[in-house]
Amino acid sequence: MMKKSVTLLLTAVLILIAGACNEIRNGDDQGRVVLKVTDAPFDISNIESAMVTITRIELRKVGDGISDGNPFITLSEDTITIDLIDLRNGVTETLLDLEIPSGEYDLVRLYVYEAGLKLKDSDEIHTVKVPGGSQTGIKIFLRPALEVSEGNLAEILLDVDLSRSFIMRGNPAHSNGFIFKPVIRAANMAKAGCVRGVVTDTAGLKISEASVWIEQDTVLATAFTDSLGFYAIIGVPAGEYAVSATKEGYDTVRFEGINIIAGNRTIQDFELTKK
């Protein structure tokens, strides 16, 4: 049983170094878990808000041996609504911060009740229910598994890919609402690092809304630069990757063999050439 009630921290924070291990207490076989959420953003030039409502969060323990066959523990049953548009380039929102039994955990189950999208040129909020999301939950695997040890802190990042989760309908785009099919990855922050940098043109001018992505066989995560040309992709499992950047009217620049180290920041800037 958990010894502390859920503590919700609703202030957005900027992760500069991914992963942490902070001693909090000893002798009660309890570790502390922090669950944060961010997004892999898409073209948001016409989007004012992208809301997601979560009603329940569970975590699965590896090899728990519970007799009823249910290894899940409930982290939260509070209703939490998040605007994913605010979570870009390393900005996250803490969903919960609480103590749980020590052990290994390999899956987060997220119960998403509904999603809402509001366009900048409209007062209407398009809202859809999530098929199965509020009944069976959305299963998000943790690879590698999260290790929660006595007296220490473990962090999970949930990265919602807006570009694939919100599917626009109608012609012109957005004219007939959207379909929400959540695409979410979970990152064990103790085993992850981040890549960040600035995208400029050959004259040194910052390029906003440039697309940046990191891949290892397939695309892992994406980002778009802000008004200062800055991007950040957090929660990247340690390993070797390719990182690319482009924008309409520019060539694509790609760097191979970028090494991501757990707990560290990798700086990778880009200089794009106009076509």
What residue ranges define each of the domains in the chain, with the CATH number in brackets?
12-192 (no CATH), 193-272 (2.60.40.1120)
Instruction: Tell me the pTM.
Output: 0.74
Residue 232 CA to residue 269 CA, distance in Å, equals 11
pLDDT for position 14: 26
* Residues in the chain, pLDDT under 50: 1-26
53 and 114 Cβ atoms separated by less than 8 Å? yes
Give the residue from 144, 94, 116, 137 showing the smallest Cα distance to 48: 116
Check the CA dihedral 41-45-46-48 and report its sign: positive
Residue 167 CA to residue 177 CA, distance in Å, equals 9
pLDDT for position 210: 92
pLDDT for position 176: 61
Q: Which two tokens stand for residue 150?
A: 């006595």
- Backbone torsions φ then ψ of 33, nearest 5 degrees: -120, 135
Phi-psi category of residue 27: left, alpha or beta, with phi > 0 → left and psi -120 to 50 → alpha? left
pLDDT for position 2: 34
pLDDT for position 170: 58
What burial class does residue 121 get, using C-beta atoms within 10 Å of its C-beta: 0-12 exposed, 13-18 middle, 19+ buried?
exposed
What are the distances in angstroms from CA 127 to CA 76, 89, 134, 168? 23, 26, 15, 12
pLDDT for position 23: 35
- Per-residue pLDDT of 159-208, as tens digits, reads 887 767 877 665 555 556 677 888 888 888 888 999 999 999 999 999 99
Strand partners, 81: 53
